[in-house]
């Protein structure tokens, strides 16, 4: 459930950026990089800081 | 062209085919026709150099041009090359299925594709929504998300949501990863969380950008909805008759039907739903049952 929440939050931010900068949502590569940052790197960084 | 279907179709096919398909080549196949053409269709530039097709519609779907990339034949040829290079039949067939999904989906817009290439350069179209790539990326998005195109994407969205189990960690571990050597290779470099993010990217991309464009077209801007056949009618668009040399004759129609039917049979065969052994076994079982019934009677 927490994983779904992370993806949903990433989706909301992605949509918000896309509405401001439509070119952001045109590229699959950008989407993949964004998703890796949002659901892997950022949560991993938070976990490391919380330790 | 379609904006979201090409992202979601591979997940629906994955759900249907299970271990009989490899997801990565399936996805690459689904994107392949546009990977080779879209940037020239819309035009792109770097370092003061601009690359754009003088006739985007013909370049994208016609001949001469790169329209052959949208024909089922292109899928067969590239699948053959993949098999020659990798010796991996599953990779080759998965690419072919993904490319076919793209090709047949694109017959639905008013421009369509050269289904019978190389036997004919005639472009076949069902004409459900307007082909408007000549309006540029933003104009194309505005037209697509105002017409029947976005309804078609909605259909695939429902199918993809119904097949949500393909996104679970368990499904990825049990079905997706063991079937495709790519995930083993990537797994030696990245943790599972990152692999799952990559596997789920197109699903995320399709849904999130579909929502973004709908909001951009109808909330940020105020383009009018027109979901009537071949809509929206507030933009010119391109039709297959603009590029074809004549109407679709009976011979051309039969040719396209024969190719489509062959692709369907091959797809069912790859998915294991049209196994000759299984059909013969079922027939024999049916004969035994009827013979037993007669003997009892």
- Residue B43, pLDDT score: 84
Do B70 and B102 touch, CB atoms closer than 8 A?
Answer: yes
Q: What is the ipTM of this complex?
A: 0.95
- Asked whether the beta carbons of residue A15 and residue B208 sit closer than 8 angstroms, the reply is yes
Q: What is the pLDDT of residues B63-101, one digit of tens each?
A: 999 999 999 999 999 999 999 999 999 999 999 999 999
B267-288 tens-digit pLDDT: 988 887 777 777 788 788 888 8
Q: What is residue B45's predicted lDDT score, i.e. its pLDDT? A: 77
Taking CA atoms, B194 is separated from A35, A41, B114, B231, B252, in Å, by: 9, 9, 39, 40, 48
Angle between helical axes of B250-270 and B89-106 (0-180°, round to 10): 140
Report whether B95 contacts B66 (CB < 8 A): no
Asked if A35 lies within 8 A of B215 by C-beta distance, the reply is: no
Average pLDDT over residues A3-20: 96
Q: Which residues 214-253 of chain B have a CB within 8 Å of chain A?
A: 215-216, 220
Q: How far apart are CA B54 and CA B58, in angstroms?
A: 9
Among residues B61, B206, B235, which one has the least CA distance to residue B146? B235
Cβ-defined contact of B204 to A11 (cutoff 8 Å): yes
Minimum distance, in Å, between the CA of residue A8 and any CA atom of chain B: 9
- Mean of the per-residue pLDDT values of chain B: 93
Question: Is pLDDT at B297 greater than 70 in this prediction?
Answer: no
Share of chain B above pLDDT 70, in %: 99
- Mutation test of the interface with chain B: which of A4, A15, A27, choosing the one with the most B Cβ atoms within 10 A? A15
Closest residue, chain A, to B201 (C-alpha): A32
Chain A residues whose CB is inside 8 A of the B220 CB are: 19
Cβ of B198 and A36 within 8 Å?
yes
Tell me whether B54 touches chain A (CB under 8 Å).
no
- pLDDT confidence of B292, banded at 50, 70, 90? confident
Q: Per residue in B185-215, pLDDT tens?
A: 999 999 999 999 999 999 999 999 999 999 9
pLDDT for the residue numbered B296? 67
Q: Do B204 and A40 touch (CB under 8 A)?
A: no
Residue of A27, A36, A38 to mutate, interface with B, max B Cβ within 10 Å: A36
Q: SS3 of B272, please?
A: coil
| % residues pLDDT > 90 (chain B) | 81
CA distance linking residue B63 with residue B48, whole number of Å:
29
Nearest to B162 by CA among B11, B3, B7, B2: B11
Q: What is the pTM of this model?
A: 0.91
Report the pLDDT value the prediction gives residue B33, as an integer from 0 to 100: 95
Distance CA B283, CA B134 (A): 53
DSSP B231-258: B-TTS--B-HHHH-SS---HHHHHHHHH
């Amino acid at each position: 459930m927490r994983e779904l929440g992370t993806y949903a939050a990433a989706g909301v931010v992605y949509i918000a950026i896309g509405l401001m900068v439509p070119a952001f949502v045109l590229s699959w590569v950008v989407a993949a990089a964004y998703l890796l940052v949002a659901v892997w790197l950022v949560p991993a960084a938070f976990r490391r800081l919380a330790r | 062209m379609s904006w979201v279907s090409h992202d979601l179709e591979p997940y629906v096919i994955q759900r249907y085919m299970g271990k009989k398909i490899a997801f990565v080549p399936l996805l690459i196949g689904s994107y392949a026709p546009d990977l080779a053409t879209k940037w020239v269709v819309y035009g792109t530039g770097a370092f003061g150099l601009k690359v754009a097709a003088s006739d985007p519609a013909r370049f994208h779907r016609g001949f001469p041009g790169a329209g052959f990339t949208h024909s089922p034949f292109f899928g067969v040829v590239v699948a053959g090359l993949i098999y020659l290079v990798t010796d991996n039949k599953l990779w080759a067939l998965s690419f072919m299925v993904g490319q076919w999904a793209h090709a047949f989906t694109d017959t639905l817009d008013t421009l369509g594709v050269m289904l019978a290439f190389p036997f004919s350069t005639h472009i076949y179209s069902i004409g459900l929504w307007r082909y408007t790539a000549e309006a540029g990326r933003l104009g194309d998005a505005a037209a697509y998300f105002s017409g029947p195109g976005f309804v078609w994407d909605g259909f695939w969205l429902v199918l993809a949501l119904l097949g949500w189990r393909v996104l679970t960690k368990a499904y990825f571990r049990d079905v997706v990863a063991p079937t495709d050597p790519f995930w083993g290779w990537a797994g030696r470099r990245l943790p599972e969380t990152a692999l799952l993010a990559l596997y789920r990217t197109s699903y995320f991309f399709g849904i999130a950008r579909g929502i973004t464009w709908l909001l951009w077209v109808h909330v940020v801007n105020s383009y009018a909805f027109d979901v009537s056949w071949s809509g929206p009618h507030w933009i010119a668009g391109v039709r297959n008759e603009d590029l074809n040399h004549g109407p679709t004759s009976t011979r051309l129609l039969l040719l396209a039907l024969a190719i489509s039917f062959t692709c369907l049979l091959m797809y069912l065969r790859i998915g294991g739903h049209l196994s000759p052994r299984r059909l013969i076994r079922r027939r024999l079982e049916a004969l035994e049952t009827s013979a037993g019934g007669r003997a009892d009677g």
